[in-house]
Amino acid sequence: MGHLSSRTRGGRNVALAAAAAWSQRHPGLPKPTASHLLKTHPNSTVCKLDGARPDGSAVVAKLAPQAAIASERWFYSHILPDLPVETPECLGVTTSEHGFWLFLSYVDGLPYDSSRTEHRRLAGRYAGLLHATSSRHGLDKGLARRGTAFVKEQLDGALAAVHCGRTNEAVAKGDQAMLREFQSRLDLLEARWSQFGEFLDSMPHAIVHGDFVSKNLRVLETGGEEELVVMDWEMAGWGPVAMDLGWVDVEAYRSTIASTWPGLDAGTLTDLSNCGRLLRVVTAVQWEAAGLRASHVERSTQRLRAYLEQLDSVLAAAHWIE
């Protein structure tokens, strides 16, 4: 199973399919009281099933290709339980006529806000624990590789996505100008790829979440204290720690990893954080390829305008552009 069909991803249909798949996987439990579509993407769809557990709590049902579900389930079942970080509970996997479903406990916390200092500190400590512990314990065996070869694939995909937009007659004239600007920035990164790749290779590697951004982070309040919970481990693997550092407090991160990597000073971590932001933008752009091929491209071009601002900010911090 590759991309999900529009019929499968259609709101009410897929929400009902999620509820049916849950009942198939857990026939002894009450049927969900309601099902809702939370988000959809060409490669995955996520639903919420209210009242699906015996205590009345909700369940998340994720529909994705078999390889993605297998990889994420492996993390939840065999990797994450050995790490001192909080994640949703894996509640099983099943197949149906619609594809492969992964079920997880629903995390009902506050959305992560990177503008809040305490949230950034929580993220810095979480990423530090994830990276330092997995590196010390040598948990790299059998994991997807998220190193420089993977990053280069993301860059090539981003360039291809922008090319799709530039050859699409549905893209407005003003947006075409924006895409030209975007391509010039990606061309600059490609021209400096050797320098950039060498820097990433020289930095510590560990288990990385790979999509460590607000949409996948929740803050729980328990006993008067806040705790970060991280969801959606589909992109996780073994790679440079920079991938998770784009929107965290680097001082909180440094205090957590100091005994493991004492040579990572504040300046180097700032550079790694900037790299993390750049990598996130590159990955996000290549995800927009399908939208830039469509007949209605406004949503994708609007996102790319925001990504271009982020990219320019990072490149300016690196003194690659004025």
Give the torsion sign (CA, 311, 121, 264, 141): negative
Q: Give DSSP secondary structure letters for 158-198.
A: HHHHHHHHHT-TTS-HHHHHHHHHHHHHHHHHHHTHHHHHH
pLDDT tens-digit series, residues 58-109: 999 999 999 999 999 999 999 999 999 999 999 999 998 878 999 999 999 9
Identify the pLDDT of residue 98: 76
Q: Return left, alpha or beta for 215; rule: phi > 0 is left, psi -120 to 50 is alpha, else beta.
A: alpha
The domain defined by 6-105 folds into: Phosphorylase Kinase; domain 1 (3.30.200)
Q: Specify the range with the lowest mean pLDDT, choosing from 28-32, 125-129, 164-168, 318-322.
A: 318-322
Q: Is residue 244 within 8 Å of residue 209, measured between CB atoms?
A: yes
- Cα distances (angstroms) measured from residue 214 to each of 16, 109, 115, 231: 27, 12, 11, 10
- Supply the pTM of this predicted model: 0.91
pLDDT at residue 25, rounded to an integer: 95
Q: Which residues pair with 111 in a beta bridge?
A: 218
Contact (Cβ atoms closer than 8 angstroms) between residue 278 and residue 314: yes
Q: In whole angstroms, what is the distance from residue 194 CA to residue 189 CA? A: 9
Same fold, 6-105 and 110-317: no
Q: CA–CA separation, 36 vs 27, rounded Å?
A: 20
Measured CA to CA, the distance from residue 301 to residue 312 in angstroms comes to: 16
Contact present, 179 and 104 (Cβ < 8 Å): no
List the structure tokens of 305.
Answer: 């305008």
Give the whole-angstrom CA distance, residue 88 versus residue 106: 7
CB 90 within 8 A of CB 101: no
Parse the chain into domains and list their residue ranges: 6-105, 110-317
Q: Do 113 and 123 touch, CB atoms closer than 8 A? A: no
Q: Is the pLDDT of residue 12 over 80?
A: no
- The C-alpha R_g of the chain, in whole angstroms, comes to 20
**Whole-angstrom distance, CA of residue 238 vs CA of residue 78:** 15
Name 265's Cβ contacts closer than 8 Å, sequence gap at least 6: 254
Summarize pLDDT for 273-284 with one digit per residue, the tens: 999 999 999 999
Report CA-CA distances (Å) from 217 to 179, 213, 265. Answer: 30, 7, 26
Mean pLDDT of 183-204: 95
Which residue matches tokens 């680097």?
A: 250
CATH architecture of the domain formed by 110-317: Alpha-Beta Complex (3.90)
SS3 call for 320: coil
Which amino acid is it at 159? L
pLDDT at position 41, please?
Answer: 77
Backbone angles phi, psi at 77, to 5 degrees: -90, -35
CA triplet 29, 30, 36: central angle to 5 degrees? 115
